[in-house]
């Protein structure tokens, strides 16, 4: 068995297994040997799966020997974040509450990994229930950055990122609510992707925020991430939010034609307190800086909020959106209890507690343009709905105008993802 099998890319490893140049069981033993050599200093895993992993790899070798196709991830050792259910293998979400929890079923993404031929070698550490951005908040141990043990690996999918960066696994699954795949991937020098909401099933994932959570792949390069995403993506009848759209070949889409693309970065992201090395490196890149008029949308939101409060004085309001500044004091003064930044969408969400009614819900969306709200007694039918709708439509029009302007000036827009743990 070669001593450097753990250095192979995910694609190379799978290809060698399918071509019988390397046995899947040797690949798995190499990964487990690597884990044994470096794990003490890293803390990437909470639970290892040695016996079952070897058995799965042997089964893949038998399938290949019988002339069967083992799948695109043939015999490749993969780490799975510990908030994703794995049948018969402890799943804790980094919490003592679930320290002895052993699921009776696989999450959809776990089942799809196995169907694609992957070998699950263990469960990766994470901030407790995904609530953190450093993987220091796991109740079962701290994970350290493989490049510098004095630094954090990012989170909450820090264990997944470290397992990949330290060559303990060829790829991994994490979950991302507000940056929990992308942040540790950046900290550990690998590639991580948060798929579009609904692209990957959430069935069997221990939720943090169900309207934002997504399972995402982590690997050593973009092509490996594409292979992993293709394996786990797709419709799932067990998850009503999973998209029915067909899954394309993400690997085939990597044609390398990026020369000449203009990358846009909001000027507002150059803030006080940035590390000088980071700021100088970013400014030296060939980027198109653009302005995001956050406060313009804040003013628009403020025009909607008073209408709601006049018509429903006991309403509790929440505003969501890239174009509303986080923790804006003027919004808090207008009755907003919580403000969360998102990407290129803006929503005004209000929980209107009308008399003698059990918290009817008002949801307005500039994308879907649909909501429900009770009318107040003494007002003509539809008054609340029509007044809020006018404000929302105005906000939607402004945001579309901003998007059109950006589309005309840049090919790709990029945003930071460090502010909201998930």
Catalytic residues: 81, 156, 180
For residue 365, give the nearest of 383, 337, 381, 388 by alpha carbon.
388
- Can you tell me the distance from the alpha carbon of 319 to that of 339, in angstroms, rounded to the nearest whole number? 6
- Can you tell me the distance from the alpha carbon of 262 to that of 265, in angstroms, rounded to the nearest whole number? 10
**Tokens describing residue 235:** 């419709």
In angstroms, the Cα distances linking 231 to 27, 173, 262, 375 are: 20, 11, 30, 47
- Can you tell me the distance from the alpha carbon of 151 to that of 248, in angstroms, rounded to the nearest whole number? 38
For residue 40, give the nearest of 127, 188, 144, 157 by alpha carbon.
144
The runs of H, that is alpha helices, within 154-266 are 158-165, 182-188, 222-232
One-letter-per-residue 3-state SS of 253-300: CCCCCCCCCCEEEEHHHCCCCCCHHHHHHHHHCCEEEECCCHHHHHHH
The runs of H, that is alpha helices, within 312-380 are 329-333
- Can you tell me the distance from the alpha carbon of 394 to that of 396, in angstroms, rounded to the nearest whole number? 5
- Can you tell me the distance from the alpha carbon of 274 to that of 271, in angstroms, rounded to the nearest whole number? 6
**Tokens describing residue 263:** 């990358």
In angstroms, the Cα distances linking 302 to 318, 348, 362, 421 are: 12, 10, 17, 27
- Can you tell me the distance from the alpha carbon of 31 to that of 49, in angstroms, rounded to the nearest whole number? 11
SS3 for 270? coil
């Amino acid at each position: 068995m070669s001593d450097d099998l753990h250095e192979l890319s995910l694609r190379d490893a799978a290809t060698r297994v399918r071509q019988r140049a390397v046995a899947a069981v040797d690949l798995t033993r190499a990964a487990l040997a690597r884990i044994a050599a470096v794990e003490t200093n890293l803390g990437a895993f909470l639970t290892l799966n040695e016996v079952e992993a070897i058995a799965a790899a042997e089964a893949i070798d038998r399938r290949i020997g019988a002339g069967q196709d083992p799948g695109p991830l043939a015999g490749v050792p993969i780490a799975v974040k510990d908030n994703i259910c794995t049948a018969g293998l402890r799943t804790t979400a980094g919490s003592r509450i679930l320290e002895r929890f052993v699921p009776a079923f696989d999450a959809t993404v776990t089942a799809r990994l196995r169907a694609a031929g992957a070998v699950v070698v263990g469960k990766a550490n994470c901030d407790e229930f995904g609530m953190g951005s450093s993987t220091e908040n796991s109740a079962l141990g701290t994970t350290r950055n493989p490049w510098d043990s004095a630094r954090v690996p990012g989170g909450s999918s820090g264990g997944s990122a470290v397992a990949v960066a330290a060559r303990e696994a060829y790829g991994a699954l994490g979950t991302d609510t507000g940056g929990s795949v992308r942040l540790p991937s950046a900290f550990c020098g690998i590639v991580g992707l948060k798929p579009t909401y609904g692209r990957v099933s959430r069935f069997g994932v221990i939720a943090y925020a169900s309207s934002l959570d997504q399972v995402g792949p982590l690997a050593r390069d973009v092509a490996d991430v594409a292979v992993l995403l293709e394996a786990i993506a797709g419709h799932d009848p067990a998850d009503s939010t999973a998209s029915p759209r067909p899954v394309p070949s993400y690997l085939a889409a990597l044609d390398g034609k990026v020369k000449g693309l203009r990358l846009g970065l909001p000027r507002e992201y150059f803030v006080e307190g940035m590390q000088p090395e980071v700021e100088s490196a970013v400014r030296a890149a060939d980027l198109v800086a653009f302005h995001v008029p956050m406060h313009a949308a804040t003013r628009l939101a403020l025009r909607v909020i008073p209408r709601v409060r006049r018509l429903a004085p006991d309403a509790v309001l929440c505003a969501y959106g890239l174009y509303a500044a986080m923790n804006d004091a003027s919004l808090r003064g207008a009755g907003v209890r919580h403000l969360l930044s998102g990407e290129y969408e803006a929503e005004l969400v209000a929980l209107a507690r009308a008399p003698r009614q059990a918290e009817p819900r008002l949801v307005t969306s500039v994308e879907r343009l649909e909501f429900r709200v009770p009318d107040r007694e003494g007002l003509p039918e539809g008054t609340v709905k029509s007044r809020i709708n006018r404000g929302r439509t105005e906000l939607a029009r402004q945001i579309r105008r901003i998007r059109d302007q950006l589309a005309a000036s840049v090919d790709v827009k990029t945003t930071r993802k460090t502010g909201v743990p998930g």
